């Protein structure tokens, strides 16, 4: 321990005036950059990262190092004498040497080390990750502070970052404005009970004073939709991509208390077709981008975590999504030879088992179910004024394995319709501002939301939603 | 009112089967796209948006319309008979016609209308925005649901969207991984008291049961730093860009309860120089991008909201930022001829008045102040082991008008130093996971955070922070 500290103290002194020993020409490269060099010419480079394996043979020492820039490791070859005793699995190192063509088929290049410095040793006995051991995802979930150093979570988080960028690009390229909708809100968009309340933790508030920091009860957002509608009334096409919250007590593989949503809102959208098209375009474009820009990370999931997933994703990408009205969907379910726990019935919500069946019925191709019963849906959805089966212009996108991936609707843009519905709910005063949007140059409009973690599960085939977010929060658990 | 509804009902019927009257060839364009056509050839187009002005002359009707895609309006010229009675300021319209060269110098193109349809009328008496009226920013703050339809907030929100994209691009281009750090956390990063607590609003919890949804008290994040450090230990360079929260009771022009922070963390950063370089690069690159991609929106602020701001921003961009130790800064302040409310003294925090003076002293060029007193700073900052004036490797970036824009530090990477400091604070158990990061391949590392709203204020010269965020939340106020 003391030895390592000395090394680092010396190091620190080096940092202001470059250390003469390996100042000179060694160019600092990321592992990914080194691996991408097709024809190495023995250039002098320096790489920093963490040791994934050490194998000492009589004449040669092999070290695999990784810095998180790619799934693949960089192989370091060295004289065994160059390897300090603290060079173990998990330690952080800086290696300087010549980048050369590798004689092995498994890699194109390798680093012939001239200097290996252990920057920080690893207490291998206490380290929850073990050398040459496959750690199942549920084991890793116990260690949110180190699981990102495994191949699977490493690949996942690179893909998550790439998908995030692809989503922003999709909307920018299609003329949408990005909006930071608020996290704390005095609205309760869906009228659902499962929300989080926010209050100052400061106990110094004077008794008798208003007990609320914001003067009114405030909640964590369940959706940015209403705020996006404000913005769609100025910028025509807008989106948001941020955290949303549900105080859902269920401990399932499908629920988180904090999760990410992509939401878009389009003014002048006159039919559900516009909304469905936007959803399908988003799904296909982002997936294409992710598959082509991170093929190795995707492969890890499609080959090892969820074998067979590649073909499933391909089927989703190459087929036009199917559309089916809610009424048709109920008929399909009623005709099914399958026994459902919940009997399908017009006017009732579709359950997960129903969603699964419908996707199967459609050949595992994503399916839009549209025009839901009026009484099932929130006040802001557009009344279809039909009958006797009264519906609203709502649409859900169902996908294989996951079920509901997106939900959207046309919004009630007619002030008189909206006002009378809110009046019946006793919410007319609360939502006066929302009614006002319809009095000052209203437009037919609509939008949708896509659960980002559900999206990642869908394209990668990951079963548990806790494995596709860096720090999962759910009932009874908020670790770190 | 009834008339308008009829129009829209007809419209809706048109939407499934295209309306024969203007089906044909009219291509739907955004206002921005129409304005960008240099040599219009009388092509048949359709534009949707909101009316910014209507001026009827004897033979010709002029309408300016805007759809939020640009600051500039599209001028529509029409036979006065084409203008329906509901064509007023604030109404939403769809105009179809020929795009032609404009005879006027103020614009390159104009739309010779063949059809003008009012999609949604505007109740002009109730509408808080008035025709041909300049609305001051503090007036607009009362109407968060319509203020985005003014030139100033429109420009601001486009710039905010553009700056957001530029920040993501900067980090992606420089090899950083994007991480969604958690919003709800059981940590209280800064040890500060002014935080928000989160609890389920569901009142059904059984008495005697654990009163917390997450079993432990949970808070809204004040910084993603500690979680970023986890990720930097796997991916080397990481960043996050999301909402952060302070339950700050002050009602100043500088504080929000919910604001956005860009935070980055760099493994293997061995000196503060690395952190300062990253801050300066981020500031300059993002500002360059925003200025060049939205010149008209920037101009609105630099000419009309904050005259003289253009030269100030230019000075910041073309000069290398200045560096000065905290100790030097105190000496500069002590030598100042200015009377300060708070007497500058080694060991005391810099106040806003001090920050302002230092920036002025440096010729209104941003200045890094580094190496702050050990006792002023939180536990995670790296001990410089100096004396008798004991400091840590912390750095703040001060900029004109705003004061502190960024704060950063090297982090204490030595397990023994960190452990003994946490022990003295009685936090050893709470932060065992954080100490662990130093036991499993620690690296020298550091990072910084930049307040996004402060950044926007700094480059645009906007005085009140409530005017640079779509829906401001602050003490006593959470509107919508």
* pLDDT on residue A251: 75
Residues in chain A: 480
User: How many other CB atoms sit within 10 Å of the CB of residue B117?
Assistant: 21
Residue of A nearest to B16 (CA): A271
Residues of chain A contacting residue B267, judged by C-beta atoms under 8 Å apart: 48, 92
Distance from CA of B338 to the nearest CA of A (A): 35
SS3 state of residue A232: helix
pLDDT at B251: 75
Report d(CA B39, CA B473) in Å as an integer: 46
Alpha-carbon span B230 to A115, nearest angstrom:
27
**Across A417-421, B104-108, B464-468, least confident range:** B104-108
pLDDT, tens digit, for every residue of B349-404?
999 999 999 999 999 999 999 999 999 999 999 999 999 999 999 999 999 999 99
How far apart CA B21 and CA A159 sit, in angstroms, is 48
The confidence band for B206, taking pLDDT boundaries of 50, 70 and 90, is: low
* pLDDT at residue B379 in the model: 95
Quick check: B453 and B238 in contact, CB under 8 A? no
ipTM at complex level:
0.94
Condensed to tens digits (0 to 9), the pLDDT of residues B266-309 reads 999 999 999 999 999 999 999 999 999 999 999 999 999 999 99
Minimal-distance CA residue of chain A relative to B172: A165
* B145: nearest CB among A182, A258, A433: A433
Distance CA B47, CA B93 (A): 8
Six token digits for residue A433: 């501002």
Ranges of chain A with pLDDT below 70? 1-24, 188-193, 203-208
DSSP per-residue string spanning B6-62: HHHHHHHHHHHS--STT-TTPEEE-HHHHHH-SS---EEEEEEEEEEEEEE-SS-EE
pLDDT at B411 > cutoff 80: yes
pLDDT of residue B211: 83
The model's pTM is 0.94
What is the rounded distance in angstroms from the CA atom of residue A156 to the CA atom of residue B103?
A: 57
Alpha carbon of B398: minimum distance to chain A alpha carbons (Å): 23
Q: What is the pLDDT of residue B11?
A: 33
Confidence of residue B191 (pLDDT cuts 50, 70, 90): low
At residue B462, the pLDDT reads 97
pLDDT of residue A39: 94
Chain A positions touching B219 (Cβ under 8 A) are: 201
CA dihedral A351, A353, A354, A355 (to 10 degrees): 90
Preferred mutation among A213, A219, A434 to probe B, highest tally of B CBs within 10 A: A213
Average pLDDT, chain B: 92
Residue B339 pLDDT > 70: yes
Q: By three-state DSSP, how is residue A138 classified?
A: helix
Residue pLDDT, tens place only, A141-188: 999 999 999 999 999 999 999 999 999 999 999 999 999 999 999 986
The span from the CA of B207 to the CA of B217, in Å, is 17
Q: Looking at the partner chain, which of B94, B187, B268 has a beta carbon nearest the beta carbon of A48?
A: B268
Among candidates B177, B413, B443 on the partner chain, residue whose Cβ is nearest the Cβ of A161: B177
Query: What is the tens place of the pLDDT at every residue in A431-469?
Result: 999 999 999 999 999 999 999 999 999 999 999 999 999
B445-456 mean pLDDT: 98
Give me the residues paired with residue A264 across strands.
A239, A448
> Are the C-beta atoms of residues B73 and B65 closer than 8 Å to each other?
yes
CB-CB contact of A92 with A49 (8 Å): yes
Strand ordering across the sheet containing A445-451:
A177-178, A237-245, A258-267, A445-451, A403-410, A391-399, A367-373, A322-325
Minimum CA–CA partner of B271 in chain A:
A15
Of the candidates A146, A213, A230, which has its C-beta nearest B145's C-beta?
A230
CA distance A270 to chain B (A): 6
List the beta bridge partners of residue A111.
A76, A99
pLDDT band at B203 (very low <50, low <70, confident <90, very high): low
Give contacts of B175 with chain A, Cβ < 8 Å.
Answer: 30, 69
Grade residue B6 by pLDDT with cuts at 50, 70 and 90: very low
pLDDT band at B12 (very low <50, low <70, confident <90, very high): very low
In this predicted structure, the answer to whether residue B72 has a pLDDT above a threshold of 80 is: yes
Instruction: Tell me the mean pLDDT in the region B447-471.
Output: 98
Share of chain B above pLDDT 70, in %: 92
- Polymer length of chain B: 480
The residue assigned the tokens 């129409």 is B34
State how far the Cα of B3 lies from the Cα of B120, in Å rounded to an integer: 11
């Amino acid at each position: 321990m003391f030895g390592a500290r000395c090394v680092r103290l010396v190091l620190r002194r080096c940092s202001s005036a470059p250390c003469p020993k390996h100042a000179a020409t060694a160019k600092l490269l990321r592992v990914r950059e080194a691996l991408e060099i097709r024809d190495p010419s023995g250039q002098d480079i320096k790489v920093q990262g963490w040791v994934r394996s050490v194998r000492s043979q009589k004449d040669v020492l092999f070290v695999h190092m990784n810095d998180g820039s790619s799934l693949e490791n960089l192989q370091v070859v060295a004289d065994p004498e160059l390897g300090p005793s603290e060079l173990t699995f998990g330690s952080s190192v800086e290696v300087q040497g010549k980048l050369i063509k590798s004689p092995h088929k498994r890699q194109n290049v390798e680093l012939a080390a001239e200097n290996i410095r252990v920057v920080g040793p690893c207490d291998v006995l206490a380290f929850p990750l073990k050398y040459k051991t496959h750690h199942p995802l549920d084991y890793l979930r116990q260690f949110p502070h180190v699981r990102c150093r495994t191949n699977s979570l490493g690949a996942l988080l690179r893909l998550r970052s790439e998908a995030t960028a692809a989503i922003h690009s999709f909307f920018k390229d299609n003329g949408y404005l990005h909006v930071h909708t608020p996290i704390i809100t005095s609205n309760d968009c869906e009228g659902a009970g499962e929300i989080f309340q926010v209050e100052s933790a400061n106990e110094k508030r004077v008794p008798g004073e208003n007990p609320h920091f914001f003067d009114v009860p405030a909640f964590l957002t369940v959706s940015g939709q209403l705020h996006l509608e404000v913005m769609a009334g100025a910028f025509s096409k807008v989106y948001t991509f941020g955290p949303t919250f549900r105080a859902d007590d269920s401990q399932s593989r499908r629920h988180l208390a904090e999760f990410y949503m992509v939401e878009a809102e389009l003014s002048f959208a006159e039919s559900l077709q516009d909304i469905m098209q936007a959803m399908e375009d988003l799904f296909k474009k982002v997936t294409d981008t992710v598959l082509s820009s991170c093929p190795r990370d995707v492969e890890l999931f499609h080959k090892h975590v969820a074998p067979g997933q590649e073909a499933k994703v391909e089927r989703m990408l190459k087929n036009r999504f199917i559309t089916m009205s809610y009424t048709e969907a109920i008929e399909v379910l009623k005709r099914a030879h399958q026994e459902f726990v919940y009997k399908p019935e017009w006017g009732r919500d579709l359950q997960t088992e129903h969603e699964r069946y419908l996707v199967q019925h459609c050949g595992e191709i994503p399916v839009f179910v549209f025009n839901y019963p009026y009484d099932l849906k929130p006040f802001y959805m557009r009344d279809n004024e039909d009958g006797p089966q009264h519906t609203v212009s709502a649409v859900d996108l169902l996908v294989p394995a996951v079920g509901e991936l997106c939900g959207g609707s046309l919004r009630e843009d007619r002030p008189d319709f909206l006002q009378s519905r809110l009046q019946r709910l006793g919410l007319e005063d609360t939502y006066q501002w929302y009614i006002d949007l319809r009095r000052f140059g209203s437009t037919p409009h609509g939008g949708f939301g896509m659960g980002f973690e559900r999206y990642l599960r869908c394209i990668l085939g990951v079963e548990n939603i806790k494995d596709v977010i860096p720090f999962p929060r759910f009932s009874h658990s908020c670790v770190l």
